[in-house]
């Protein structure tokens, strides 16, 4: 996957786990059923370790001023799979014939909960009311893929289960890209027992978001909220198909632990399994900016499900959970949701055109540190060092070279690992940017016309 980011140096993060989508493969015993279910613990990919003062995440994480960003290192960081689920569960999908056309009717719901409910000891009632209002619109998304049996005959199997939320009267469902990636067929199941084939409207790997659409009568709709109104300490509720337990979505609660996080998802293995060089050879996953950190418990199967305020409005899309802070030390109470202020414009663009256009520079890079600066013979304490340049990319056309150190973009100093990616992401294809570049003892200005990031394959 073309990317302007790379894996972090091994000095930053030791373990990580993503994929709240549940892979379905191995038979195991359900805790509340005597029948074996086809589930296995989700596994993520290790990254590097964040210092103890910074929340360790299932992605590369840091506070905004020192946001940790995945950067392509010349020598990839060693990575190790990290189990994410803690108990087996059965997958329950109730088949139903799709109805004719979507309706704009939402299920009956109680009045919005007042912000003072929790302060007056009414938190349990508030969470209950949020659940009653929104749970009918929280769906289970089953990713079905085709395999070939021993007689070379194709058959379809569920490859994973995630969550999503119906957010408009046209039956659009907002979820994560990693929930739907690779699917030959998508099955969308509602808590009321109905199931519908899901049409993939579009997906965007760079932001890990996707939109599906279903057609049915009297579809419940979840109200979208304004994540920009959130404050640290606000109560939030997560609803999703945790562990794909039978009986419908699971409800958990917590608080907004932090805002404006920058996290990096683990890379995905290539089709057919692990890359030839092992996990360390895999390209890192996308960087997610302005992410909500929450203490609400999030488990495999929650991916794509809503994070809600106490008014029952969707303020985030649950996406990541923290893995191990270090070997043998599991991070606790750290989950991440894509803020609705980020997700809604992406969803609108996917519905309008089926894809999202992103700017493209075409380099892989790593952070500058004193040792690297000395080795390169440059006087720089901040910035990034170019590791690789994609042939034919805007960076190649502009004359950038490996070992160049980029210290500024349009006069803005690059502070922190994620600064370059965040600055570039704020632009559009066709925009011109001026890079301040150190090449040995020389400083120069390099003008680059940003290109368009190639669209993902279907």
- What the chain holds in terms of domains, given with CATH numbers, is 22-90+224-269+280-353 (2.40.10.10), 118-222 (2.40.10.10), 359-452 (2.30.42.10)
CA distance 170 to 13: 42
pLDDT confidence bin for 146, thresholds 50/70/90: confident
Per the model's pLDDT, the better-predicted residue between 325 and 40 turns out to be 325
Q: What pLDDT does residue 167 have?
A: 98
Quick one: CA dihedral 272, 277, 279, 284, positive or negative?
negative
Given a contact cutoff of 8 angstroms between Cβ atoms, the answer to whether 303 and 162 are in contact is yes
Per the model's pLDDT, the better-predicted residue between 338 and 105 turns out to be 338
pTM: 0.70
Bridge pairing between strands 138-148 and 27-29: unpaired
Q: What pLDDT does residue 283 have?
A: 66
CA distance 347 to 207: 10
Q: What pLDDT does residue 56 have?
A: 28
Mean pLDDT, residues 104-133: 62
Range of lowest pLDDT (276-290, 332-346, 417-431): 276-290
CA distance 247 to 253: 19
Active-site residue identified among 17, 178, 204, 227: 178
Q: What pLDDT does residue 358 have?
A: 92
Per the model's pLDDT, the better-predicted residue between 68 and 436 turns out to be 436
Mean pLDDT, residues 299-317: 96
Active-site residue identified among 4, 85, 204, 208: 208
Active-site residue identified among 163, 227, 295, 303: 303
Active site residue 208: yes
pLDDT confidence bin for 457, thresholds 50/70/90: low
pLDDT confidence bin for 443, thresholds 50/70/90: very high
Range of lowest pLDDT (180-184, 253-257, 333-337, 414-418): 414-418
Using the predicted structure, report yes or no on whether residue 341 has a pLDDT greater than 90: yes
Active site residue 303: yes
Mean pLDDT, residues 313-341: 90
- Phi then psi for 72, rounded to 5 degrees? -75, 115
Using the predicted structure, report yes or no on whether residue 134 has a pLDDT greater than 90: yes
Q: What pLDDT does residue 275 have?
A: 45
Q: What pLDDT does residue 95 have?
A: 27
At 264-304, the pLDDT tens digits run: 888 765 544 444 445 445 567 888 999 999 999 999 999 99
Q: What pLDDT does residue 124 have?
A: 74
CA distance 233 to 251: 19
Strand partners, 202: 211
Q: How many residues does the chain have?
A: 458
**Three-state secondary structure along 45-67?**
CCCCCCCCCCCCCCCCCECHHHC
Per the model's pLDDT, the better-predicted residue between 91 and 20 turns out to be 20
At 20-79, the pLDDT tens digits run: 444 433 222 222 222 322 222 232 222 222 222 223 233 333 333 332 232 332 222 333
pLDDT confidence bin for 241, thresholds 50/70/90: very high
Mean pLDDT, residues 428-452: 93
Using the predicted structure, report yes or no on whether residue 94 has a pLDDT greater than 80: no
Which residues lie below 8 Å from residue 129, measured CB to CB, with a gap of 6+? 110, 113, 312
Active site residue 410: no
- Phi then psi for 254, rounded to 5 degrees? -170, -160
Mean pLDDT, residues 432-453: 93
Given a contact cutoff of 8 angstroms between Cβ atoms, the answer to whether 166 and 139 are in contact is yes
Q: What pLDDT does residue 81 have?
A: 27
Using the predicted structure, report yes or no on whether residue 183 has a pLDDT greater than 70: yes
Q: What pLDDT does residue 329 have?
A: 83
Mean pLDDT, residues 3-10: 32
CA distance 364 to 267: 15
Given a contact cutoff of 8 angstroms between Cβ atoms, the answer to whether 341 and 368 are in contact is no
């Amino acid at each position: 996957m073309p990317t302007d980011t790379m894996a972090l140096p091994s000095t930053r993060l030791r373990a990580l786990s993503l994929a709240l989508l549940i892979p379905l493969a191995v038979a195991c015993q359900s805790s509340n059923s005597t029948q074996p279910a086809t589930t296995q613990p989700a596994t993520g990919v290790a990254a590097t370790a964040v210092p103890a003062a910074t929340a360790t995440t299932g992605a590369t994480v840091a506070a905004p001023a020192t946001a940790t960003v995945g950067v392509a290192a010349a020598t990839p960081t060693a990575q190790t799979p990290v189990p994410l689920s803690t108990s087996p569960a059965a997958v329950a999908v109730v088949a139903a014939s799709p109805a004719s056309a979507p309706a704009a009717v939402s299920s009956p719901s109680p009045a919005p909960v007042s912000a003072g409910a929790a302060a007056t000891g009414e938190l349990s009632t508030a969470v209950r009311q949020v659940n009653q209002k929104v749970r009918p619109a929280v769906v289970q998304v089953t990713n079905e893929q085709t395999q070939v049996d021993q007689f070379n005959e194709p058959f379809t199997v569920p490859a994973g289960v995630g969550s999503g939320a119906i957010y408009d009267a046209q039956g659009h469902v907002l979820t994560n890209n990693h929930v739907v990636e690779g699917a030959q067929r998508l099955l969308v199941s509602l808590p009321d027992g109905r199931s519908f084939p899901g049409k993939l409207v579009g997906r965007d790997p760079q932001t890990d978001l996707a939109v599906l659409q279903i057609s049915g009568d009297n579809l419940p709709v979840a109200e979208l909220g304004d994540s920009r109104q959130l404050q640290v300490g606000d109560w939030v509720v997560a609803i999703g198909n945790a562990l794909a337990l039978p009986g419908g979505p699971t409800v958990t609660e917590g608080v907004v632990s932090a805002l404006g996080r920058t996290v990096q998802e683990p890379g995905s293995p290539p089709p057919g399994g692990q890359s030839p060089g092992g996990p360390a050879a895999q390209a890192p996953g996308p960087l997610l900016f302005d992410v909500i950190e929450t203490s609400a418990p999030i488990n495999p199967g929650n991916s794509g499900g809503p994070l809600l305020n106490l008014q029952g409005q969707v303020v985030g899309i649950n996406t990541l959970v923290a893995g191990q802070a270090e070997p043998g030390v599991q991070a606790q109470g750290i989950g991440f949701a894509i803020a609705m202020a980020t997700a809604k414009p992406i969803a609108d663009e996917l519905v309008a055109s089926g894809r999202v256009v992103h700017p493209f520079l075409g380099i892989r890079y790593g952070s500058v540190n004193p040792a690297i600066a000395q080795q390169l013979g440059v006087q720089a304490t901040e910035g990034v060092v170019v590791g690789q340049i994609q042939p034919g990319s805007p960076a190649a056309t502009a004359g950038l070279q490996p070992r160049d150190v980029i210290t500024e973009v349009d006069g803005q100093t690059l502070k922190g690992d994620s600064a370059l990616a965040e600055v570039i992401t704020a632009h559009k294809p066709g925009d011109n940017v001026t890079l301040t570049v150190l090449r040995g003892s020389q400083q120069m200005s390099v003008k680059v016309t940003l290109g368009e990031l190639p669209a993902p394959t279907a």
